Structure 1
């Protein structure tokens, strides 16, 4: 047992010496290799210029377009109410269909009104008979006066008899006038009865689309009842509100008409974008401008009209209304991808004439398509870098490659950061 223990100890010691020897040889080899190299290594050269794509900013006329949410409404909305009271006996139109001016939509029980009309006609005939009777009495009185006048002058009859004849003639003349007045009143009563009879036929006063009936046949209605509504949809109105600044910009565009948006409506064509994202084929124009600005919202209400063939658009729909509010002459456009935001500031990288990167802080105006309109912070003819932005820093060398300049498009204008 002692011999085996000694043999194991010798083996372990031998392995340790072998490991130490191997480590020493590695260190010696590394020293020899390091001694064989040059004593002073050459310093690294400057980094190569980074290739970047640049867009040359050129002044151009930029149409700035405003966009607002609009609500559609009928050009004319008429509530259909009867002018007579009675039981509703018939509905003559199909709900949701197009009706024309003067078309009968409902009928009210006309029998009481027919009876009133017949009574008025009878009273008219009676008044006419009274006129004939009074005229006959007047003729007799005139004959008596004509006969007794020479007799009284010849003292063949008493003067008092002639006086009675003259008085009778005057009374019959008054009776004739009264009877004729009764005829006029009776004729008016007949016309009124005819009107009331006509009111039992409830008609549409405009051409448009009729809505759902709010009263069913068999109900008792009066002049306060609303039977349905009819809306004129061609053209159709769209109501929207614009800010004070946008209103002033629009009036500035129409300064040739004294700033009157109604007189110069053709100069401000409007585009309606529907809920499905498509632009409505018909262009609109301003038809109404409110008399005052809303002091709470700082906006003014405007109504536009759009031709609506086929009544495609309906009241209550929403859409986005666009119009060119102004044209910026000499505006500078830069691509959106060239703008970075740092601590609330908008920055861009510019390739200078020295082919080095320079950081510029810019104030952005409206968004025009895929570009920003720059208010200040950049000069015309600047070369704006549009790629490799994460690798750039102030003063870094670059190799600019030109790209086509951004073209202005008449699209929605949104303030920067909104």
Structure 2
């Protein structure tokens, strides 16, 4: 009986010991262990020579643009083109009714014939006057000789003198009449020329070659001299007008000079400086041209800017006149520039900074000064050394002073646009949509703004 009484007690004791042992094991497994350092992706900066650009807003303008205007009054009989048609200089665009001007030509031609007849009459009269002068002078000389010998009367001598003077006066009058007749003939000729010119103006021709707009006046309507009928625009090549600050203008000037203040040997002419352009819808600077003109009056004192103009090939008509565009032009080089991805830069109230992993894989914070941006890469002017490992990914998990587990990658250099360009009128000027001069997406958005 006792053995049966102690059995439950022994079973309870064994169970208690097992529970205590299990509790001890559970306490050991729940002991706090610090998490491993967070993983981050790092890279060393790209060190390369880059081109510094000035980037400004601009507006495109047709190189040639001419308004087609009527030069005589009349009703439009025909329109000889279709809207957007390519026309050549001298092509007939409109025909104005000719009847009135043909009649004017006929009248002027008749007036010219009458003037020619009047000249013939005046010439005959002048010849008769000359004969009369000769006859009267002979009679005067004869009467004079007789009068000196008292062989004639004074009245006959005076009559001969008067006849001679009258003949001379008549000769002068005939010469004047002949001069007037010839002047009338010249006037009639001028009127005929004007009538023929007006008749030729009934055919309105293209003043330049290019593409013509829709007609502003329909067939059958009356037009006056000077009425605007249409406009012709030559789309290739095309200008882009823009302005730069006086400070940027001085920077361009100084970048082209050597230490002696003379033009560097490797510098091209000012008008051969390449200019890159992109439209509002473009993600890259796909058009390449060259600087064409700068304002000869210098810096505008009211705005402190210098006006510039670039020219671009536009064989495929991808650039329209009047577009607002973004242009950039090189103003020098930055040797051994330090570039990091823009996504590595953090901004707060103190400014811009990056997180760097030191030699012991601890995170450090470094304030930076930035320069131009090239696509996704930014020039760092201060705060980063070429040997620094900059955190690119995992920024949210990295804390200054804390360790991390870095994985290092290698960044690719920035593709810079070519330093040279072909003339804008040449077929080599790219307007096909492909990046020109190496200006691909990674370098397309270069900005000269310094956010330091």
TM-score (norm 2): 0.73
Match of 2:292 in 1: 287
Q: Name the counterpart of 1:60.
A: 48
How far is the alpha carbon of 1:59 from its aligned partner? 4.2
1:305 partnered with 2:338: no
Matched, 1:331 2:319: no
- Greater CA drift, 53-62 or 174-183: 53-62
Tell me the SS of whatever aligns to 2:90: coil
SS of the equivalent of 1:391 reads coil
Aligned runs of 1:155-174 on 2, under 5 Å?
155=143, 158-174=160-176
Q: Give the Cα–Cα distance (whole angstroms) in 2 for the partners of residues 32 and 49 of structure 1.
A: 32
- 1:349 partnered with 2:355: yes
Q: Which residue of 1 aligns with 2:196?
A: 194
CA RMSD across the alignment: 3.9
In the alignment, structure 1 residue 381 sits paired with structure 2 residue 387: yes
Output one character per residue of 1:219-247: Cα deviation in whole Å (capped at 9) or x when no partner: 11112421111111111223445556555
Counterpart in the other structure of 2:82: 94
Q: Per-residue deviation at 1:307?
A: 1.7
Aligned to 2:413, what secondary structure does the other structure show? coil
Taking the aligned partners of 1:360 and 1:277, their CA distance within structure 2 comes to: 32
CA contact (8 A) 1:145 1:166 kept: yes
Moved more, 316-325 or 189-198: 316-325
**2:46·2:340 contact (CA, 8 Å) conserved in 1?**
no
Secondary structure of the structure 1 residue equivalent to 2:166 = helix
2:418 is the alignment partner of 1:413? no
| Distance change >3 Å, CA 32–CA 252, structure 1 → 2 | closer
The alpha carbon displacement at 1:153 in A equals 1.0
Q: Structure 1 295/112 Cα, relative in aligned 2: closer, same or farther at 3 Å?
A: same
- Within 2, Cα distance between the matches of 1:174 and 1:288? 60
Query: 1:241-269, CA deviations, whole angstroms, 9 ceiling, x for partnerless residues?
Result: 555655554444455779xxx96121233
Q: CA deviation at 1:138?
A: 1.0
Equivalent in the alignment of 2:431: none
Unaligned runs of 5+ in 2: 1-7, 147-155, 417-442
* CA distance in structure 2 between the aligned counterparts of 1:265 and 1:379, rounded to whole angstroms: 38
What is the CA–CA distance in structure 2 between the aligned matches of 1:34 and 1:89, rounded to whole Å? 112
Whole-angstrom distance in 2 between the partners of 1:178 and 1:169: 14
* 1:225-244 → structure 2 map (5 Å cutoff): 225-242=227-244
Give per-residue Cα distances to partners, 1:43-74, cap 9 Å, x unaligned. 99998777755433364322234555544332
Distance in 1, matches of 2:47 and 2:284, equals: 32
Deviation at 1:330, TM superposition (A): 3.1
Contact 1:254 1:267 in 2 (8 A): no
**TM-score using structure 1 length:** 0.79
Unaligned runs of at least 5 residues, structure 1 = 1-17
Q: CA deviation at 1:208?
A: 0.8
* Counterpart contact for 1:236–1:305, Cα < 8 Å: yes
Residue 63 of structure 2 corresponds to 75
- Give 1:311 deviation, angstroms: 3.9
Instruction: Note if contact 1:340-1:348 (Cα within 8 Å) is conserved in structure 2.
Output: yes
Partner of 1:11: none
Q: Which moved more, 1:26-35 or 1:329-338?
A: 26-35
SS state at 1:212 partner: coil
Aligned positions, number: 390
For residue 287 of structure 1, report the CA deviation from its aligned partner: 3.2
Distance verdict in 2 for CA 1:253–1:273, change over 3 Å: farther
Task: Determine the C-alpha separation between the residues in 1 that align with 2:137 and 2:223.
Answer: 66
Give the direction of change, closer, same or farther, for the CA distance of 1:212–1:121 in structure 2 (3 Å limit).
Answer: same
Cross-structure match for 2:149:
none
SS at match of 2:396: helix
Say if 1:312 and 1:337 are closer, same or farther in 2 by CA, change over 3 A.
Answer: closer
Whole-angstrom distance in 2 between the partners of 1:33 and 1:95 = 94
Alpha-carbon distance in structure 2 between the residues aligned to 1:132 and 1:390: 109
